[in-house]
Chain A
Amino acid sequence: GAVVSQHPSWVICKSGTSVKIECRSLDFQATTMFWYRQFPKQSLMLMATSNEGSKATYEQGVEKDKFLINHASLTLSTLTVTSAHPEDSSFYICSASPATGRNQPQHFGDGTRLSIL
């Protein structure tokens, strides 16, 4: 089945640090990937849609200058949390679908737990 790999799985860093998270589709190409954030005991909230070769589309309330997204190839999207602060601590998850079209299930990475001290 379709596999999505996310790296790193856990990050602990000081306030003010920028952190990059990678999302890779291992056995398929994905023109679109999605980034979600999940706070403790809450559901997933879509942050942005990552489009290969073009700018990402951000959901309302998500700062595009804070969360930089790059989708440089059909198998890799990166999310960079710039100048991270404790309130950015969360569980970040990416997803991708093997093909365009709305009948394809989304496949998720294992997530990245970000802790800002």
Chain B
Amino acid sequence: EAGVAQSPRYKIIEKRQSVAFWCNPISGHATLYWYQQILGQGPKLLIQFQNNGVVDDSQLPKDRFSAERLKGVDSTLKIQPAKLEDSAVYLCASSLVLRAGGEQFFGPGTRLTVL
């Protein structure tokens, strides 16, 4: 089966610009996650969707970050305006069920560099 797709793979922008990342989860996966991974650290959850509803966005900097999953399938994460500290890899993951035993499948990530 196809894995989690993300685009673009790389993005370079200047601070105060806007950027958007796209994720297409594995077909049939109801739960979708966005993680931020800063160099040298483990991934940190930004937001979690169950179908098109938000389950957890407690770590999402809502003054500049937004995410949506309008039809319960693919999702977009936006940063507006970007700061230098937003330089990171943005990982999308999906899982079949929302429970403790549900394995998460990760995409390859989008590497963002903010200059």
> A and B, one complex?
no
Q: Which residues of B contact A (CB under 8 A)?
A: none
Q: Which residues of A contact B (CB under 8 A)?
A: none
